[in-house]
């Protein structure tokens, strides 16, 4: 499913752009987004948290995947929280959801408070330094079990905002 030695361009799936079509019976854009998620080697699932949960938009999207639909995918939960009390949402709620879908969630979630966003690059660098080897090891282990075909990374976001790369 994923060739750990062949980097690919990430696919950015902004659910805010799919919101209107997310509940349609057979929307091509949603189907394409779901296929990108299922084929990802590494899936970064990012969502804001304000009411002690990930967004309903993210839940509605992920609910369209069957149980085990993310088998063979390494997932990294990411949340942006408005309150310190909600920093654990990724571990308490998002990680189990991704696990139910069959994803391998081998690293701690990346959680950040809104006031820390100006220092996002520094925060990501610290998280990456601590967890990059685990992500790579998980990808390599899954690749060893699956047929080796290149798969892009995917970023699923329920924010509707542009992200710098």
69-123 pLDDT tens trace: 999 999 999 999 999 999 999 999 999 999 999 999 999 999 999 999 999 999 9
144 touches 4 (CB < 8 A)? no
pLDDT for res 130? 94
**pLDDT over threshold 50, residue 165:** no
Q: Which residue has the higher pLDDT, 4 or 125?
A: 125
Tell me the whole-structure pTM to 2 decimals.
Answer: 0.79
Number of H helices, E strands in the chain: 6, 5
124-154 pLDDT tens trace: 999 999 999 998 898 888 888 764 455 556 6
Instruction: Report the alpha-carbon distance of residue 110 to residue 84 in Å, rounded.
Output: 14
Helix (H, G, I), strand (E, B) or coil at 157: strand
Instruction: Report the alpha-carbon distance of residue 74 to residue 41 in Å, rounded.
Output: 6
What Rg do the C-alpha atoms of the chain give, in angstroms?
15
Which domains can be identified in the chain, with CATH numbers? Answer: 11-157 (3.40.50.360)
Instruction: Report the alpha-carbon distance of residue 43 to residue 38 in Å, rounded.
Output: 9
**pLDDT over threshold 50, residue 50:** yes
Residue recorded with tokens 């499913």: 1
- Average pLDDT of the residues in 27-40: 91
- Average pLDDT of the residues in 24-45: 89
């Amino acid at each position: 499913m994923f060739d750990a030695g062949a980097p690919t361009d990430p696919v950015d799936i902004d659910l805010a752009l799919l919101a209107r079509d997310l509940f349609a019976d057979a929307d091509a854009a949603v189907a394409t987004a779901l296929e990108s998620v299922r084929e990802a080697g590494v899936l970064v699932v990012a969502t804001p948290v304000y009411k002690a949960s990930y967004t309903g938009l993210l839940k509605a999207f992920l609910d369209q995947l069957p149980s085990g639909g993310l088998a063979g995918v390494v997932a990294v939960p990411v949340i942006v929280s408005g309150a310190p009390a909600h920093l654990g949402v990724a571990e308490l709620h998002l990680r189990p959801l991704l696990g139910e879908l069959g994803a391998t969630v081998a690293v701690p979630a990346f959680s950040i408070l809104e006031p820390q966003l100006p220092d996002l690059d520094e925060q990501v660098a610290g998280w990456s330094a601590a967890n990059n080897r685990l992500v790579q090891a998980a990808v390599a282990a899954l690749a060893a079990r699956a047929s080796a075909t290149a798969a892009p990374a995917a970023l699923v976001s329920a924010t509707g905002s542009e992200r710098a790369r």
